[in-house]
Amino acid sequence: MKIYTKGGDAGTTSLVGGKRIKKFGVRIEAYGTVDEINSCVGMLAVAVRPAMNEWTDFLAVIQNKLFNIGCYLATDNENAESEPFGLSESDIERMEQAIDNIQTELPPLNNFVLPGGTDGAALADMCRTTTRRAERRVVELAEETYVSPLVMKYLNRLSDFFFVFARFNNIVRQIPENLWNKDC
């Protein structure tokens, strides 16, 4: 099978099911941004090894969930209120538990934290900001067609996870957090 099909040469792409749409559409932006998150998570997983190997399995789960979400968003669901395969409330609860567990290791937050510190922290912040962009694209798509609320909830919790995971990376590696200085 050839990797290039030439089908997109004229500015369109195929959704799951074969329907062709313009590459600049909101649906493409939504699942394309989810794909960007997945790439960022792959980089994050590499950056936190070996110091944080216990988290690489969790990051792999996130990548699989993101792939499921991307497939869901790449499917023309205009005629049905479908739900994403492989995503459930228990995934959101698992994300919340991970956030809660990490927060027990963090000092209280009394100021805004600027991105940076360790490679892992910086990449977790890239994951967070890309996830926030994906949220905006998915909400925009939901204005046009049905999108499962699970997708929006998962992405919202995921961005929260990346925020605490960035802080956790710095704390674990004993790198001081870079706090916002409004007078700088």
| pLDDT score recorded for residue 52 | 73
Half-sphere exposure of 123 (CA within 13 A, CB side): 19
Radius of gyration (C-alpha) of the chain in whole angstroms: 18
Give the predicted TM-score (pTM) of the model: 0.90
CATH number at residue 73: 1.20.1200.10
Q: Which residues make beta-bridge pairs with 12? A: 22
Residue 151 one-letter amino acid: V
**Domain-embedded: residue 3:** no
| pLDDT score recorded for residue 133 | 98
Q: Are 60 and 49 in contact (CB under 8 A)?
A: no
Query: What is the domain count for the chain?
Result: 1
**Domain-embedded: residue 4:** no
**Domain-embedded: residue 179:** no
Decide: residue 166, CB within 10 A, 0-12 exposed, 13-18 middle, 19+ buried. Answer: buried
**Domain-embedded: residue 177:** no
Q: What is the Cα–Cα distance from 141 to 145, expressed in whole angstroms?
A: 6
**Domain-embedded: residue 13:** no
Residue 16 one-letter amino acid: V
Task: Note down pLDDT in tens along the chain; length 184 residues.
Answer: 777 777 777 676 777 776 777 778 899 999 999 999 999 999 999 999 876 778 999 999 999 999 999 999 998 876 567 888 999 999 999 999 999 999 999 999 888 998 999 999 999 999 999 999 999 999 999 999 999 999 999 999 999 999 999 999 999 988 988 888 888 8
**Domain-embedded: residue 151:** yes
Residue range(s) defining the domain that contains residue 156: 19-77+86-103+110-172
**Domain-embedded: residue 155:** yes
**Domain-embedded: residue 6:** no
Q: What is the Cα–Cα distance from 156 to 136, expressed in whole angstroms?
A: 10
Angular region, 17: left φ>0, alpha ψ -120 to 50, beta rest: left
* Per-residue tokens: 129: 């900001």
